[in-house]
Amino acid sequence: MMALGDTGASARLDSGIEAPHAARAVVKDVLARWELNHCRDVAELLVDELISNVVRHVGSPAELRVLRRPRALRVEVDDSSTQLPVRRDPSPDDDHGRGILLVDSLATRWGVDPRTSGKTVWFEIDLER
């Protein structure tokens, strides 16, 4: 179930193999409604990575928020783990470990906000690129 407004949308996602697909669908729908298709591919890729990390490493439901700021798109993912994500430098033969590297490479800004009951991992994409 997605809640959508002029400057924000949110969705609660179960922690299953369908969660990354559901997150991409939310981002795609929201950006189409806001006519921000120019940043859709990057936003979908990065939200897929963040939600995949929750599914793989946390196993809890996630709260997804897509926020429209005056000059940036901000995507936030809450989960129940207090363990912070780690940026890795995987070898070409590694099967995983590229998610945060992709976020770091493609987002304008990103970060982690620890909370009492988990954390929020977020990224921003400048809309004036």
Q: Which CATH number fits domain 2-126: 3.30.230.10, 3.40.50.2300, 3.30.565.10, 1.10.260.40?
A: 3.30.565.10
pLDDT at residue 102 greater than cutoff 90: no
Tell me what the pLDDT averaged over the chain comes to: 89
pLDDT bucket at 6, cuts 50 / 70 / 90: confident
User: Quick one: CA torsion of 28, 119, 113, 57, rounded to 10 degrees?
Assistant: -70
Contacts of residues 81-90 at CB distance under 8 Å and 24 or more positions apart, as own/partner, are 81/57, 81/118, 81/119, 82/114, 82/118, 82/119, 83/57, 83/58, 83/119, 84/112, 84/114, 84/119, 85/53, 85/112, 85/121
Q: How do residues 19-43 score in pLDDT, each as one tens digit? A: 999 999 999 999 999 999 999 999 9
How much is the average pLDDT of 15-19? 93
Q: How do residues 37-74 score in pLDDT, each as one tens digit? A: 999 999 999 999 999 999 998 999 999 999 999 999 99
Looking at residue 111, its pLDDT comes to: 95
Looking at residue 1, its pLDDT comes to: 56
Looking at residue 25, its pLDDT comes to: 97
pTM of the model: 0.89
For residue 109, the number of C-alpha atoms closer than 13 Å in the C-beta half-sphere is 10
Encoded tokens for 67: 């926020």
Cβ–Cβ under 8 Å, residues 27 and 50: no
* Whole-number Å distance between alpha carbons of 2 and 12: 7
Cβ–Cβ under 8 Å, residues 90 and 101: yes
Looking at residue 129, its pLDDT comes to: 64
